Amino acid sequence: MSKLQLRARLATTIGGAAGRVSRLAGRGDGSVIGGVIALRLEPGLLGKLAAGKQIVLVTGTNGKTTTTRLITAALGALGQPVASNAFGANMEAGLATALGQDAGARLAVLETDEKYIPPVLAATQARVIALLNLSRDQMDRAAEIWLLARRWRDALEAAPDCLVVANADDPLIAWSAAGAKQVTWVAAGQRWHEDSWCCPQCGAHLVREDPDWRCTECGFARPEASWVLDGEAVVDPAGHRHELALALPGRANRANAVVALAVAEAFGIGAEQVLPRLREVTSVAGRYTTVHRRGRDVRLLLAKNPAGWLEAFDVLGPSSVPVVLAVNAQGPDGRDTSWLWDVDYRHLRDRRVFVTGERRLDLAVRLEADEVAFELVTGVDEVVNQVDPGALDVIANYTAFQQIRSTFGRAV
Ligand SMILES: [Zn+2]
Ligand 1 center to 148 CA (angstroms): 18
Ligand 1 center to 157 CA (angstroms): 20
- For residue 35, pLDDT over 70 is answered with no
Ligand 1 center to 219 CA (angstroms): 6
Ligand 1 center to 188 CA (angstroms): 22
What pTM did the predictor assign? 0.83
What pairing do the DSSP bridges indicate for beta strands 375-376 and 296-302? unpaired
Ligand 1 center to 371 CA (angstroms): 39
Q: Using CA atoms, how far apart are residues 299 and 248, in angstroms rounded to an integer? A: 12
Q: Is 85 helix (H, G, I), strand (E, B) or coil?
A: coil
Ligand 1 center to 146 CA (angstroms): 14
List, for residues 214-234, the tens digit of each pLDDT value.
Answer: 999 999 999 999 999 999 999
Ligand 1 center to 254 CA (angstroms): 30
- For residue 109, pLDDT over 70 is answered with yes
Ligand 1 center to 41 CA (angstroms): 46
pLDDT band at 410 (very low <50, low <70, confident <90, very high): low
Q: What percent of the chain has pLDDT over 90?
A: 66
Q: What share of the chain is helix, strand, coil (3-state, %, to 5)?
A: 40, 20, 40
List, for residues 316-364, the tens digit of each pLDDT value.
Answer: 999 999 999 999 998 888 888 888 888 899 999 999 999 999 999 999 9
Ligand 1 center to 120 CA (angstroms): 30
- For residue 47, pLDDT over 80 is answered with yes
The closest alpha carbon to 184, from 165, 203, 199, belongs to: 165
Query: Is there a contact between 198 and 204 (Cβ–Cβ < 8 Å)?
Result: yes
Ligand 1 center to 176 CA (angstroms): 14
Query: Residue 186: its pLDDT value, please?
Result: 98
Average pLDDT, the chain: 88
Report which listed range, 203-212, 351-360, 396-405, is most confident.
351-360
Q: Is 170 helix (H, G, I), strand (E, B) or coil?
A: coil
- For residue 12, pLDDT over 80 is answered with no
Ligand 1 center to 325 CA (angstroms): 39
Lowest model confidence (mean pLDDT) among 14-18, 85-89, 142-146, 307-311: 14-18
